[in-house]
Amino acid sequence: MAAKQPPPLMKKHSQTDLVSRLKTRKILGVGGEDDDGEVHRSKISQVLGNEIKFAVREPLGLRVWQFVSAVLFSGIAIMALAFPDQLYDAVFDGAEVTSKTPIRLYGGALLSISLIMWNALYTAEKVIIRWTLLTEACYFGVQFLVVTATLAETGLVSLGILLLLASRLLFVAISVYYYYQVGRKPKKV
């Protein structure tokens, strides 16, 4: 018997076979929409996720506000630690300082908050940015209430105190604005 020759191997060109390619992509689970409406081009992008989906859409001026806040907190903290008499005099217009310790403790607390502000300036995580903005808003709100209560007790009203109160209200408004802007759901494109 003569040995039969096996039939020549037919090479399938899956690159040109559209149906084969679509079947392969369907088996792999890529190419179609997922639950979020995302279309993944490869299994790797499907597993690792789409980086754009997690990016924070930053409101205009957010990073400038974070920088200004960090500088403001750092400057007042250093002034409270190094020159407590001058800081008290600038705010309460000539009132006598009875003890430097509370002012220096205030400076230490502000320095701690300023470190958080500086670190939040370099992050892209939405949650950290929002918590930092909420911390700022709470701080400025509490400071507004404390200074107002002090004014009611002492009756000292000066231009410095009025400017401080006005600036605190402005800072609360700006921080709350950015807090809500960062927390908004991004629009689907």
Task: Report if residue 115 sits inside a domain.
Answer: yes
Task: Report if residue 3 sits inside a domain.
Answer: no
Task: Report if residue 179 sits inside a domain.
Answer: yes
pLDDT score of 51: 52
- Nearest of 186, 56, 175, 60 to residue 124 by alpha carbon: 56
pLDDT score of 161: 82
- Nearest of 121, 127, 138 to residue 175 by alpha carbon: 138
Look up residue 41 and give its DSSP letter: S
Task: Report if residue 107 sits inside a domain.
Answer: yes
pLDDT score of 74: 96
How does pLDDT run across 6-54, given as a tens digit for each residue?
A: 776 666 555 566 666 667 766 666 666 665 555 556 666 555 555 555 5
What is the total count of domains within the chain?
1
Give pLDDT < 50 ranges for the chain.
Answer: none
pLDDT score of 87: 82
Look up residue 33 and give its DSSP letter: B
pLDDT score of 54: 53
Domain range for 76 is: 62-183
pLDDT score of 99: 86
pLDDT score of 115: 95
Task: Report if residue 53 sits inside a domain.
Answer: no
Task: Report if residue 28 sits inside a domain.
Answer: no
pLDDT score of 18: 61
Look up residue 15 and give its DSSP letter: T
Return all residues near 166 (Cβ < 8 A) that are at least 6 apart.
Answer: none
Specify the pTM.
Answer: 0.66
CA geometry: angle 164, 126, 189, nearest 5 deg: 120
Task: Report if residue 95 sits inside a domain.
Answer: yes
